[in-house]
Amino acid sequence: MLHMGLRRSEVLLLPVDAVKDDFDPATGEVRYWINITENPYANVDPRSQAPSIKTSPSRRQLPLSQELVHLTDLYTQNYRGKPSHTFLFNSQKQAPLAAQSLADVFVSATACLSDRARKALSDQGKDGVEGHDLRHTAAVVRLARYVDHGHDLETAIGKLRRFFGWSMTSKMPRHYAAAYFETRLSEVWNESFDSFVDTLRDLAGVSPQENFGRETP
């Protein structure tokens, strides 16, 4: 959810063989990906709140990093068990993981946060960490990567739409773009302020290690 920005329902729908791979003759490497769509093996979902694909653009194919491939293999081989259902994530009762169970994971994560982290969340009007927070972070980070790799904002937002499964009319990419620029403006301000202070130090003949507040001739 953090690395791929998947919605909660998309995570809960993943089949046990969600990770796909194929050899790429152009690079000589094996490529890994996941298909975000309905579980092709499940005719009936036993969960009381069955997850579903949100919109047509939500059906998409996403590349996977080696790290996520490794973690998925680690989970399926050592922790998932051998339930009768075909969903990737399994409960302790050998049933498909429910939405509430996934929410409870974040309740447990919140309980482990430091006081400083809790204060930071409280300052934002939040009581704890939620699954959607991970999607938000993933979107802002990916947008930053697109821009850092030389894409203009419109192109970057277009790529963001495809990766996160938003329709052409969705306003969500612009929402995350605003969060991206808030972060970047903060970084620029800090850099500018640091440069400003360094300039003053040079004029005053004060090294960065010395106390800038002291009187100078």
Return the structure tokens found at 175: 């929402």
Residue 127 DSSP symbol: S
DSSP SS3 for 21: strand
pTM, entire model: 0.78
Q: Does 195 or 148 have the greater pLDDT score?
A: 148
Side-chain-facing half-sphere of 146: CA atoms under 13 Å: 21
- What value does the mean pLDDT of the chain take? 84
- Does residue 200 surpass a pLDDT of 80? no
Read off the amino acid at residue 120: A
Do 80 and 151 lie in one domain? The reply is: no
Do 120 and 170 lie in one domain? The reply is: no
Do 79 and 112 lie in one domain? The reply is: no
- Does residue 202 surpass a pLDDT of 80? no
Task: Return the percentage of the chain with pLDDT > 90, whole number.
Answer: 48
Q: What pLDDT is attached to residue 216?
A: 39
End-to-end CA distance of the chain: 57
Q: What pLDDT is attached to residue 26?
A: 87
Do 113 and 176 lie in one domain? The reply is: no
Helix (H) or strand (E) holding 73: helix 66-78
Q: What pLDDT is attached to residue 187?
A: 59
Structural domain harbouring 122:
98-129
Q: What is the CA radius of gyration of the chain?
A: 23
Q: What pLDDT is attached to residue 214?
A: 41
Helix (H) or strand (E) holding 176: helix 172-204
Do 71 and 145 lie in one domain? The reply is: no
Q: Does 197 or 133 have the greater pLDDT score?
A: 133
Number of domains in the chain: 3
Distance CA 171, CA 68 (A): 29
Do 85 and 134 lie in one domain? The reply is: no
Do 30 and 80 lie in one domain? The reply is: yes
Do 136 and 196 lie in one domain? The reply is: yes
At 46-81, the pLDDT tens digits run: 999 999 999 999 999 999 998 899 999 999 999 999
Distance CA 76, CA 89 (A): 9
Side-chain-facing half-sphere of 177: CA atoms under 13 Å: 17
Do 178 and 135 lie in one domain? The reply is: yes
Q: Tell me what the mean pLDDT of segment 163-172 comes to.
A: 90
At 108-122, the pLDDT tens digits run: 999 999 998 889 889
Do 115 and 93 lie in one domain? The reply is: no
- Does residue 105 surpass a pLDDT of 70? yes
